A and B are shown apart, each in its own frame.
Chain A
Amino acid sequence: MTDRSGPIGSPDDWRDRVFDAFERAGVEVFCYLPDAGLDSFIRRANTGNADRAIMLTTEEEGVGVCCGSWLGGKRAVLMIQSSGVGNCINTFSLVTNCRFPFFVLVTMRGEFGEGNPWQIPMGSTTQEMLELTGFTVFRATDPEDAVAMVSEGLKMAWRSDAAVAVLLSQRLLGAKDM
């Protein structure tokens, strides 16, 4: 896997700054299914309070968990890969009907440099699907965008009761070599 950023864990790593933005925004719960591009976020989420990282069996569970968390007064985010967006579509009606503040971080597959054709149908439509289901979508293609979009996207979600998605593109993350 190619990577345009510094090594994970170094002080200038943009991934750390993205995760710092989550913490600064008061996010206390991280629901996830893994992707290579999410690995460092998952590792950080799994440090500290044992309740803050929630591993899911399928992405739509995380929609309910995040909304339930906010019903109880805690901010939660969902971290998934683009194929998982498709699994969530009907469940997003919970977010839009109740106007829950909602933030999802999506690592992209099925686009720039993809080597697996099975990822392409969902990856090539992820942004449109999210927009059709009521999300405001920001797509990050370089590290500075990623940090700014997550930081401002979180503000938008919780200050405007909005559904916000930040897509981390394969241009940014690098395509899996396959």
Chain B
Amino acid sequence: MANVLPRKEAARALMNQVGDQLIVCGLGSPVSDVSSTKDRDLNFYLVGAMGSAAPIGLGLALAQPERAVVVVTGDAELMMNVGILATIGIKQPHNLSILVFDNERFGETGGQMSHTAHGIDIAALAAACRFTQTAVVRQARELTAALERTHALAGPYLAVIKVDPERVPISIPIKDGVLCKGRFRKALLGTY
């Protein structure tokens, strides 16, 4: 089996270098991965509306062109609305990066195999949709390079980070969407 990264390790590496990036987390484990490592006001967490992480990232990136926006989501969450890759490809937001934590499973529903477990290549889909660079990450040093790239403002960029399929308990710091929206806007814009 090809190498994969422990998802906790990937999350720690991501949040250790985060700086002032705006983060949008897709529902499920990515929320847990990111928030349990470093909860911060400039993280926006989805606990539903599956498929919306990348669309929110696009809207945010176009509204805040000076800021690096990072969407952290799962493979199945992205695949639910995969057409967004084409929409992003047209707009070419230079400040948008998508990091797909790809465990090749529907993690929240019992760990059923997902499309990527059957060879569907999300990085290739993104490349076909005119993302300026894509990567498939299986090693720690590749992860470091991918995370550096999210600061480059030379996107749209997408990295598939292959992570282990082990099921971990999910913890969600905020389920209240109004609160999550408000703290994000207050931190970014100074207003609710």
Contacts and interface: CB of A to CB of B under 8 A. Distances in A.
Interface of A: 29, 51, 54-58, 60-74, 76, 90-91, 93-94, 97-100
A38 B54 CA distance: 25
Contact of B55 (A55, A65, A74): A65
Contact of B59 (A55, A57, A64, A90): A64
B52 interface: yes
Contacts of B60: 68-69, 71-72
A66 B44 CA distance: 15
A57 B84 contact: yes
Interface in B33-83: 44, 46, 48-64, 81, 83
B91 interface: yes
17 contacts: A54-B58, A54-B87, A58-B83, A64-B56, A64-B84, A65-B58, A68-B58, A68-B59, A69-B62, A70-B59, A71-B44, A71-B188, A72-B188, A73-B64, A93-B49, A94-B52, A97-B49
Given A51-B62, A100-B181, A94 B83 contact: no
Contacts of A74: 59, 62-63
Question: What is the predominant secondary structure among interface residues of chain B facing chain A?
Answer: helix
B59 A72 contact: yes
Given A54-B87, A68-B57, 19 more contacts: A29-B59, A51-B62, A51-B91, A56-B83, A61-B81, A64-B84, A65-B59, A68-B60, A69-B59, A71-B184, A71-B185, A72-B22, A73-B64, A73-B185, A74-B62, A90-B48, A94-B46, A94-B48, A98-B181
Given A71-B56, A73-B64, A57 B83 contact: yes
B78 to A, nearest CB: 12
A68 B69 CA distance: 11
B63 A97 contact: no
B189 A73 contact: yes
A41 to B, nearest CB: 18
Contacts of A73: 63-64, 185, 188-189
A165 B47 CA distance: 25
Nearest to A99: B178
Contacts of A64: 49, 51-56, 58-59, 81, 84
B90 interface: yes
A91 B51 contact: yes
A100 B44 CA distance: 13
A55 B188 CA distance: 27
B91 A63 contact: no
A90 B80 CA distance: 12
Contacts of B49: 63-64, 90-91, 93-94, 97
B154 interface: no
A71 B181 CA distance: 7
B90 A71 contact: no
Contacts of A65: 55-56, 58-59, 87
